[in-house]
A and B are shown apart, each in its own frame.
Chain A
Amino acid sequence: MMRNRMAYLVLVMFLLCATQLKAQLYLGIEAGGNKNYLVTSNQSQAFTNYDPAAGFSIGVPLLYELNEWFAVQTELNYTQKNYQITRTGSFQGIYQKNTNSYLELPVLAHFSFGEEQVRGFINLGGYAAYWMSDHLKGLESNVLNTVDSSAGSNTLSANTGSYGYSYSETYQFSSVKDKRMELGWIAGAGISYETISGHRFFIEGRYTSSVTDQQKNYQLNQIPRYNSTWGISIGCLFRLKKSDNVYHYVNY
């Protein structure tokens, strides 16, 4: 905890002392795809895997350039963090895909380098997100819709085939189990190209990692669940504000 506070303090000092008032403000739009992994453990479940799943994100970034190499960026994103539960072996065919929709608010330190128009950049920071909804789509065994064999015996089949129950429905959140707020950190890198008119096009690869469990702490020996998301997005930033080309250095 103490180490965190020191780090934050140092960061703030550097930012305050390195103010180079270029005052460029950009607003934009971005969209992209991602692949999310639900990081958890399920040794007690045989023939059951938690697989990653693809999703997409769209967002509105706001970039405030403090100087030519440093900016603060925030965004308001709709992003999906999906995953799939898949049964294997004799139970192949049984699955559930969770399509999780989040409203995400990253706050990032934006470091850039390179030439005037073509620049590389790195984004580092954290985010808060709200788990808006979860849509379930899958196929499950249905014990009370069994196959009728010629012998009339109980022919419950693990491989459900056409006798399983296929569903597509909205998940009802549990106030006991589900934690709707998520916090985490982000690291991204990309390239941008800015036109003379102030349109900055960019492509970014990003890794998003939650540090909060997807569940509330409601039972002993609970196995946590974390989202880890790899994404790539493209977008465009539009320059909104540019001050006179005057630079101030604060010495300390």
Chain B
Amino acid sequence: MKLNFRNKILYFFTFITIFLVILTTSSCRKDLPVVNAAQNYPGGSYPDLFEAFWNGMNSNYVFWGVDSTNWDKMYTTYKPLFAKLTTFDSASESTAENYFAAMTAGLIDSHYNLTFELTGNSFSPATYRRELMNPNYFTDSTFPSAVLDSLIPYKYIDASSLVMGTDTVSMEGSATPFTAVSGTINNSILYLYFSSFALSQAGANTSPVFNYFFNMVQNLPPYIRGIVIDLRGNGGGEVADLDFVVGQMIKTPVTFGYTRAKNGTGRLDYTPWAPAIVKPWYGGSANIKVPIVALADHLSASMAELTTMAIKTLPNGKFIGTRTWGANGPLAPQVYFNGGQFTIGTSTFGSTGYLFTYTSSTMFKYLNGSVYEGVGVPPDIYARETTAAYKSGEDLVVDAAINYINSQ
């Protein structure tokens, strides 16, 4: 049946009405804001630098899911304050640096560091908080270095087995001393100390140390009842050293935790958790069954902590010492994981920019689901060196490791 004229009119108007309703409703979509990468802001004023930094942190900081810092409140509080800084002069720069520090003082990322390129000043929230708690936090333990000079090599290591040396390596662009010590203790415990994870750069003085230690590992004499890896005071370094160190003591891959990275522009956009795996070293490994003890302390950070946790996960592994620094998130250039470190102000201030934000690219959680970022890895057995013990020629942490191994 064909439509009559009135029905045609009704048909037309009903159609147009609904169509207009839909057009109206479709405009309910919000406009997509333009949020540039932090490094692409011009940075020619303090307000612009603030926007670059705040937005850079918004999308690149990997700990928003567990960090209690109210980042939105930092925006509303500090945006008007930065707006009052209208000229680049020393007074404004000092104020701006204090503002940036105040905004980030509570962040849990214990790798986190701000470097202000105009003045050379820097700020580390983790260091700031620890020194607030204990002004002597860093001086409390110089024992790894001190004991290497006078205690462990000469009081604990069997003289005939002692191998030690120091080379200079490049750590994040800086020439850094790299020291390693190995040998046996009481002719029954194999000991290794190294000051940072830069084993690939071992030179003429430290290569013999690692050659000795790993040759012993891969051909472990029957009189060796345990292995001690001393990571006290070790600030971390190259990720690949994990397989080189721990991987030479296992025959099958071991999962010791998980990492996740940013996967979107929102603060809570994450990738799935990927397993953190230490694999048998491709150049050969041994199936070590004797106890493996990691020694670590409050200055053990980053790779030292990951290695400690990897050893903890082994059925024959143990962590003896004190709670570590709490910097567990691996780092890489921002473009790799769409997160982590970034520089602002390069358009105005050149390639080094105005502010370099050093922060983890991924977040780590231990095998049991615990996130130790900002709080440190707890020891299996607590042991802490004291000044009195040191002066009397004792390393209480090494003593604890010896006692543990002898009890197994």
Closest Cβ neighbor of A224 among chain B residues: B30
Question: Is residue B242 contacting chain A, with contact meaning CB distance below 8 A?
Answer: yes
Question: What are some 8 contacts across the A-B interface (CB < 8 A)?
Answer: A43-B35, A44-B55, A91-B336, A143-B330, A143-B332, A144-B330, A145-B274, A226-B29
**Considering the chains assembled together, what is the distance between the CA atoms of A202 and B54 in angstroms?**
53
Given contacts A144-B306, A223-B33, 11 further A-B contacts (CB under 8 A): A44-B265, A70-B14, A96-B263, A140-B261, A145-B274, A146-B240, A167-B272, A167-B274, A209-B26, A211-B28, A221-B33
Q: Which 6 A-B pairs have the closest CB atoms?
A: A144-B276, A165-B274, A152-B200, A41-B32, A211-B28, A153-B200
* Of A1-9, A25-33, A52-60, the one with at least 4 CB within 8 A of chain B: A1-9
**Shortest distance between the CB of A143 and any CB in chain B (Å):** 4
**Considering the chains assembled together, what is the distance between the CA atoms of A18 and B37 in angstroms?**
56
* A-B interface pairs (CB < 8 A), number: 208
**Considering the chains assembled together, what is the distance between the CA atoms of A85 and B32 in angstroms?**
18
Tell me whether A11 and B275 are in contact in the complex, defined as CB-CB below 8 angstroms, given that A68-B1, A69-B11, A144-B239 are known contacts.
Answer: no
Tell me whether A124 and B22 are in contact in the complex, defined as CB-CB below 8 angstroms, given that A153-B240, A215-B266 are known contacts.
Answer: yes
**Considering the chains assembled together, what is the distance between the CA atoms of A33 and B271 in angstroms?**
28
Question: Is residue B390 contacting chain A, with contact meaning CB distance below 8 A?
Answer: no
Question: Is residue A48 contacting chain B, with contact meaning CB distance below 8 A?
Answer: yes
Q: Which of B32, B34, B55, B241 has the most CB of A within 10 A?
A: B32
Closest Cβ neighbor of A142 among chain B residues: B274
Question: Is residue A162 contacting chain B, with contact meaning CB distance below 8 A?
Answer: no
**Shortest distance between the CB of B254 and any CB in chain A (Å):** 11
The reply to whether B35 and A109 contact each other, CB–CB distance below 8 Å, is: no
**Considering the chains assembled together, what is the distance between the CA atoms of A41 and B31 in angstroms?**
10
The reply to whether B30 and A155 contact each other, CB–CB distance below 8 Å, is: no
Closest Cβ neighbor of B362 among chain A residues: A143
**Considering the chains assembled together, what is the distance between the CA atoms of A109 and B257 in angstroms?**
55
Query: How many positions in chain A have a CB within 8 Å of any CB in the partner chain?
Result: 75
- Listed in ascending order, the chain A residues whose CB lies under 8 Å from chain B are 3-4, 7-8, 10-11, 14-15, 17-18, 20, 39-48, 67-70, 85, 91, 96, 109, 111, 116, 122, 124-126, 136, 138, 140-146, 148-149, 151-156, 158, 165, 167, 169, 174, 176-177, 185, 187, 209-213, 215, 218-224, 226
Please report which residues of chain B, range 52-70, place their CB below 8 angstroms from some CB of chain A when the two chains form the complex.
Answer: 55, 58-59
Question: Is residue B132 contacting chain A, with contact meaning CB distance below 8 A?
Answer: no
- The contact string, 1 if C-beta is below 8 Å from chain A, for chain B 280-295, is 0110000000000000
Query: A154's contact among B76, B239, B259, by CB below 8 Å, is which?
Result: B239
The reply to whether A47 and B265 contact each other, CB–CB distance below 8 Å, is: no
Question: Is residue B133 contacting chain A, with contact meaning CB distance below 8 A?
Answer: no
**Shortest distance between the CB of B18 and any CB in chain A (Å):** 5
**Shortest distance between the CB of B19 and any CB in chain A (Å):** 6
